[in-house]
Amino acid sequence: IHAAHTQDITETGGLYKRMKITAITFILGALSISGLPLFSGFWSSDQILRDVYHYNFIIYGILTFTSILTAFYMFRLVFLTFFGRKGDKAEYAHESPPVMSIPLILLAIPPVLVGFICSPFLPEAYRFFPLFAPESFGVRQVEANYAVMGGPIAADLAGILLAYLIYQRNLRPQDWLARYLGPYYKVLLHKYYFDEIYLFLIVRPVLRLSDFIGRFDLAVIDRVVNWVGDSGLRFASAIGIFDLGVIDGIVNWVGDTMLDNSSRFRLSQTGYTLNYLLFFFAAVALLVLWIQFA
C-alpha cells in the first residue's frame, strides 16, 4: 500500500523487481505460514497434526486439506503482488525506506532461525543454540514421524503449485471443475449459499422490522411527542394569561390600595406635638366613655 498506493492486489503485479527486500521477506513469511519444512510454522503445525493423527484420522485429513488452502491463498497473494503481469500501480512503486525495511528483515529472521533450530534433520543445531534445546524446558525431544509429516508437506506443495498454475500460467480450472463436481460446484461457487441464507434469514427480516419501527415512530411516537409538546405550549400559554390577568392583578391591586391608604394616613402626621397630644387625649376620652357606657 505504501509503495503502490492501492489495496487491490490485482493492480500491483510485478513488484518483485522494484521491492526485492519486501518481496523476499514476504515470501519467507508466506513459506512459514504455509507450513513448509525448515520454517517455524512447519513445526507448530506439525505438532498439531501429529497429535490429531493419533486421535482422529478424519480430523487429520480435514486439517491437511486446510493446509492446501493456506498455502494456495498465501502464494496467490505472492504471485499476484510480486510476479506476473505488471500492474498499473507498479510503475511508480519503490522500495520501502530503512525505517520500514529493517523491521521487515528482523521479522523475517525468527521464522527461519527457529525452524532451523527445531529441525530434527539438524540435531547438531542445539549445540549452537543450547538455550532452545528441549531439555532446557524440561521436555524431551520427540522423534520425528516422517509419515505424518509427509501429508501436510505434500498438501502445502500442492497448494503452492495450484496457485502457480492458476495465477502464473493462467490455468482456468472452472470448466472441468464444473463438469466433474456437478451440483457441488454451484454450492462452492455460491459459498454454500451462506450469503443468500444470511440475506433471507437476517438481513431482510431486520430491514422489514426497521421499516416497521420507522413507520411506527413517524405515525405514533412522533405524533404523541408533538401532541404532548403542543399541549404543554397551550397549557403554559393559559397559565401565563391567568398569571398576568389574575395573580398579577391581585398583587397590583393590593399594592395600589396600600399606596393610596398610606397617602391618606400620611396626612395625619403633621409633626406638631400639640396635635399628637390632642389626638392622645381624645382617644383616652373616647376610651373612658366606652368603658363607662359599655
SS (H, E, C) 207-250: HHHHHHHHHHHHHHHHHHHHHHHHHHHHHHHHHHHHHHHHHHHH
Rounded to an integer, what distance in angstroms lies between the CA atom of residue 90 and that of residue 105?
22
Give the pLDDT score at 2: 58
How many C-beta atoms lie closer than 10 Å to residue 68's C-beta?
A: 21
Closest-CA residue to 4 (of 76, 69, 99, 82): 82
Q: How confident is the model at residue 137 (pLDDT cuts 50, 70, 90)?
A: very low
> How confident is the model over 105-128, as pLDDT tens digits?
888 887 777 766 655 555 555 455
DSSP, collapsed to helix, strand or coil, labels residue 141 as coil
Q: How does DSSP assign 13-67, residue by residue?
A: TT-TTT-HHHHHHHHHHHHHHHT-TTSHHHHHHHHHHHHHHHH-HHHHHHHHHHH
Give the pLDDT score at 201: 94
How many C-beta atoms lie closer than 10 Å to residue 31's C-beta?
A: 24
- What average pLDDT does range 58-79 have in this prediction? 86
Rounded to an integer, what distance in angstroms lies between the CA atom of residue 30 and that of residue 1?
18
> How confident is the model over 247-273, as pLDDT tens digits?
888 988 888 888 887 777 766 666 677
Average pLDDT, the chain: 78
Single-letter amino acid code for the residue at 10: T
- What average pLDDT does range 44-72 have in this prediction? 79
Residues 6+ apart with CB under 8 A from 187: 193
* pTM listed for this prediction: 0.54
Give the pLDDT score at 267: 65
> How confident is the model over 149-176, as pLDDT tens digits?
777 788 888 888 988 888 888 777 767 7
Rounded to an integer, what distance in angstroms lies between the CA atom of residue 67 and that of residue 64?
5
Rounded to an integer, what distance in angstroms lies between the CA atom of residue 207 and that of residue 84?
44
131, 132, 133, 137: CA torsion to nearest 10: 90
At which residue does the C-alpha cell 525452524 appear?
A: 115
Give the pLDDT score at 116: 65
